[in-house]
Structure 1
């Protein structure tokens, strides 16, 4: 396996982990019983999105 294959595999694994986390947060959001709980979950989603974008920009800089 070449370095680019390894990078691609780890990128795919990372993406799947993030997708799974997004799915769990969304399910929690849907079942939330209060606006405060929904707000907290939305903030977690925003942090996750920020990390996701940071990873994308870092990968672009390393190309």
Structure 2
């Protein structure tokens, strides 16, 4: 969590709708860190892998 804190802060203030990561563990840690920083503020949705987000954007569903 200590190493990822700068990334968590950037994601928290960026106002993005989604957070993606190639690494499943990093994605979970980012989500946890954003939740701690944001408190009750709206949080971005975590999408497991960037390819999943691309598939959603192009209307390809496999879930």
Bigger relative contact order, structure 1 or 2 (CA pairs below 8 A, ≥6 apart): 2
Question: What TM-score range do you get, normalising by the shorter chain?
Answer: under 0.3
Normalising by structure 2, we get a TM-score of: 0.27
Normalising by structure 1, we get a TM-score of: 0.27
Of the two, which has the highest radius of gyration? 1
